[in-house]
Amino acid sequence: MKVLISDNLPDICKTILESADIQVTTKTDFTPEELQKEIGVYNGLIIRSSTQCTPEILESADNLQAICRAGVGVDNVNVPAATKKGVIVMNTPGGNTTSTAEHAITLLLALSRNIAQACNSVREGKWERKKFTGTQVSGKVLGVIGLGKIGKEVAKRAIALEMKVLGYDPFISNETIPQLNVQLVENLDEIYRQADYITLHIPLVNDTKHMISKGELEIMKDGVRIINCARGGIISEESLYDALVSGKVAGAAIDVFEKEPPENNKLLELDNVLPTPHLGALTKEAQLAVAEDAAKQMVDVLKNNIVRNAVNMPVQGSDELQQLKPYTALTEKMGALLRQLVRGRIQSIDIQYSGGVSKDNIRPLTDCLLVGLLKDVLAENVNIINARILTDERGIKINEIISSATGDYTNLIFARISTDDGESSASGTVFKNNEPKIETINDYRVDMDPIGHVLILLGQDKPGLIGEIGKMLGDQNVNIGHMTFGRKETGGVAMIVLNVDAVVSQETILSIEKMECINSAYMLKF
């Protein structure tokens, strides 16, 4: 395994990787063209904020399994392109949480007390106490936009300063609300109208680009103060400048800019702007923490197949992944089975989850079924990251159904593939030993182990049939390890499932299909 560290990180990152027998290259001066040329040999890439993972670079990353951003934001990674390529994109949200939250509070207090301006005045030999009369934060209203890890920590510290905290986050769970001691608002306008201070803790995405612009600033209270330790571009710098000049906004503390470092930025001309050079996570403790987290997460992915803090993967925690593992194995096997049975162009996939498994996170289960269905068919590398995208691109409809009814099973997963030439279906479950079992194929009860080589026959139920088949396979030196026999009625069409120790030759399969009582034969491989 090879990992590239393309931005400056503490040595602990390289040390952890090498201790796991991973080859590490540290090179921080790649041009985009050079990185595009070299990236193909690496299995992992660890970055900070300087490296830009563009679609062009990702297209050349044929062996890349994972990118880990040592920090929170991943706006320097084209996540859709990485996802389509099947590359896991991770961040390290916990490592710099405290440092960034402390910086936001530092800026809030410094902005309130004119610390930077007063400091410069004293250095110039002045003593202008009245000029730098400040504002007390106790009793003021702080609006926190984004209640992720950092936003929550900022809220905690603001409450300790006796501020009233309003929070906005459309994705926060109801269970978290009582723990925060924060008054949640339904829309941003409530924060804009009520807050004396506003602090931003959200990512820069299409929906948040210039989220705060002229219209939003006009709604805000006169004399509002704004702190941005998140990402440049969330606030329109032009609109903010006008609001600062007019006095609508009393002051702004800006740690991040649309262009870094800022050049010819009018905000830097204003006395009521407190700029810092993207210092939010820049403490010794945070740098060590994110470097260590990034290395450990990369080792887990490459060596242990454990994914943490992925921004483009439905399973986020190793505990959840471990719990779902028997069922992801089952659904991938079901996908592989149906891929080998179906004929024609796939139109749609119906998947029904019944019983206890229906209460789990079903998305990765469906994604694993898609992996099994597509991985030996498409030219692209298919995995749980890109399977759904590749399915969508081909116009295949996916229908996921939740049901409480299980019949004879505690858990049951049913899948039906519809093509322009008919349908094929299968159901499966996981027993106490965590081994997957295929219970039905096209409504025939088979109780099949989806392992190794499997020969499936459809034919008339008649005496001596199994003996004839066994003799033909024996003549070819193919041993039968296990057999199941499913039928819907005596004397009708039956399904014979044979787990065999070797591949049955195409010639032998054709000979079997020529038998008067055999309708069809399928040689499957798992």
Catalytic residue, candidates 48, 69, 201, 278:
278
Helix (H) or strand (E) holding 482: strand 480-487
* Burial annotation 305-332 (CB, 10 A radius, 16+ → b, else e): eebbbbbbbbbeeeeebeebbbbbbbbb
The CA distance from 385 to 364, in Å, is 9
Distances (CA, A) of 391 to 316, 318, 394, 426: 22, 26, 5, 19
Strands 197-200 and 141-145 turn out to be parallel
Q: Which of 95, 148, 150, 88 is nearest to 314 (CA)?
A: 88
Residue 378, burial from CB neighbour count under 10 angstroms (0-12, 13-18, 19+): middle
Could you tell me how many residues make up the chain?
526
Catalytic residue, candidates 48, 157, 225, 231:
231
Q: Check if 231 is active-site.
A: yes
Total Cβ atoms within 10 A of residue 192 = 22
Structure tokens belonging to residue 339: 């891929």
Total Cβ atoms within 10 A of residue 151 = 28
Q: Which of 89, 98, 18, 86 is nearest to 53 (CA)?
A: 89
Catalytic residue, candidates 33, 34, 128, 260:
260
The CA distance from 459 to 517, in Å, is 5
Structure tokens belonging to residue 320: 């959840």
Q: Check if 260 is active-site.
A: yes
Q: Are 173 and 165 in contact (CB under 8 A)?
A: no
Structure tokens belonging to residue 307: 């994914």
The single residue listed with the structure tokens 């749980």 is 384
**Is the alpha carbon torsion for 177, 156, 229, 308 positive or negative?**
negative
- Which SS3 state, helix, strand or coil, does residue 330 take? helix
Helix (H) or strand (E) holding 245: helix 237-246
Structure tokens belonging to residue 233: 């571009």
The CA distance from 365 to 380, in Å, is 20
Catalytically annotated residues: 231, 260, 278
